[in-house]
Chain A
Amino acid sequence: MENAKDTFYVALRNRLAVLNPNRTMLLRGVQRPGILVEEAEAVVAMLPADVFVLRWTVLQTDVNLPLVLARMQCEIHYTTGGTMVASGLDRGRALEEMDAELLNILAPPSTPKLDYAQNPVLQLNTPVFWTAADFTPAVTLRDRITRSARVTVFAYQEPGEL
């Protein structure tokens, strides 16, 4: 399952870097596209603004197939307070922009599965594919608007794979 999670994140990150090169963040001293995997970063008290945060939750498996099919739910959280230039009055527009970006980077809904634990990265035989995003209502807390989208990610467990 880990390969599928890694592949999904890297696919979204690479697509985001192409779609909006300005959506970047400085994390652990490194400038990178504004998307991160929550479980692979330090614990923080508050969601970082203007970046996509991937949170893996539900895992289900279908064992009645030649290869075990893993079904994982990924929650993509994002929050924004708008820009300082507009004193945050554009936070609705900023959220809308992130909605559109998320829709764009989720298409096409599949990518070849890669094993990033290997060096060089190894391409596996099956793809990772996912459903359309299921957006939740926006939640306003003080000066920030937050939304999340749920995506179900599917991947076949290849023999010997983690």
Chain B
Amino acid sequence: MSADLSIRNYSPIAQRAADALLRSLGGFSVGLQIPSPVASGDAAQLGITPQTYQSLPLSPAIFRRVRTTMQEGLPEKFELAVSASAIEAQVGALQLTSADALFAQAAGVTVNGKLFLIEAVTAPQAYGQAYLYRLQLREALPQGI
């Protein structure tokens, strides 16, 4: 076996195609909830000082319910497909190293004002570059570690 070490030039074709597809499917805007840096202190760590969040707009995005067998007491799961170009723009704006760093900081995603927690993130790629981010979400319920 040999590895494919060929040089691949950057090509935005797949990203543009994905963006066009998301828009054609009714792509809308969702908000990635990123905690605003707060003064480090006891009150912030003890839940005395309320945390504030900034909502980073991600667009175009498609939101749908994951069709799984429903079980009593378990929250429903959803899938969010977000444009990779929108994620890249936010990674650049926040001067982060990767999309993983962005999602690691995120407290969740707001869709039409409702908060969902991020359970998993995958990024299908074409020519070594992510053209879409698929986020598995679930409704924000009190504790469930």
Q: How far is the CA of A84 from the CA of B126 in the complex (A)?
A: 27
Docked CA distance A36–B107 (Å): 16
Q: Please report which residues of chain B, range 33-78, place their CB below 8 angstroms from some CB of chain A when the two chains form the complex.
A: 35-38, 40, 42-48, 51
B42 touches A116 (CB 8 A): yes
C-alpha gap A46/B136 in the complex (Å)? 14
B42:A29 contact, CB within 8 angstroms: no
Q: Is the CB of A44 within 8 A of B145?
A: yes
Q: Which bracket fits the contact residues of B? A: 20 to 34
CB of A10 within 8 A of CB of B42, answer yes
In the bound complex, do residue B46 and residue A116 qualify as a contact, i.e. CB atoms below 8 Å apart?
A: yes
Q: Kindly state whether residue B95 has any CB partner on chain A within 8 Å.
A: no
Q: Are A47 and B145 in contact (CB under 8 A)?
A: yes
Chain A residues, Cβ within 8 Å of B143: 38-39, 43
**Majority SS of interface residues in chain A?**
mixed
Nearest CB on B from A56, distance (A): 11
With both chains docked as a complex, state the minimum distance between the C-beta of B66 and any C-beta of chain A, in angstroms: 15
B46 adjacent to A28 (CB under 8 Å): no
Which residue on chain B has the smallest CB distance to residue A6?
B46
State the Cβ distance, A32 to closest chain B Cβ, in Å. 6
B117 at interface (Cβ–Cβ under 8 A)? Answer: yes
B113 within 8 A of A: no
Pairwise interchain contact B145-A29, C-beta atoms closer than 8 A:
no
Contact check: which of A30, A32, A40, A44 meets B46 at CB < 8 Å? Answer: A40
A23 within 8 A of B: no
| CB–CB B45/A13 < 8 A | yes
Please tell me if the beta carbons of B35 and A45 are within 8 angstroms of each other in the complex. no
Q: B11 interface residue, CB < 8 Å from A? A: no
Let me know if A117 is at the binding interface, CB within 8 A.
yes
Interface string of A32-53 (1 = CB under 8 A from B): 1000111110111111000001
The reply to whether A37 and B145 form a contact with Cβ atoms under 8 Å apart is no
Give the contacting residue for A36; candidates B43, B45, B119; CB below 8 A.
B45
Residues of chain A within 8 A of B119, CB atoms compared: 45
Query: Is the pair A121, B42 in contact by a Cβ cutoff of 8 Å?
Result: yes
Q: How far is the CB of A84 from chain B (nearest CB, A)?
A: 14
Write the nearest CB–CB distance from B24 to chain A, whole angstroms: 31
Q: Tell me the complex Cα distance, A42–B140, Å.
A: 10
A9 at the interface (CB under 8 A from B): yes
Assembly CA distance A39 to B51 (angstroms): 13
Q: Are B43 and A116 in contact (CB under 8 A)?
A: yes
Given contacts A40-B45, A117-B48, contact A30 B145 (CB under 8 A): no
Contacts of B47 in A (CB 8 A): 37, 39-40
Residues of A in contact with B (beta carbons under 8 Å apart): 6, 9-10, 13, 28-32, 36-40, 42-47, 53, 77, 116-117, 121
Query: Which 5 residue pairs across A and B have the least CB separation, nearest first?
Result: A40-B47, A29-B37, A28-B35, A42-B107, A30-B40
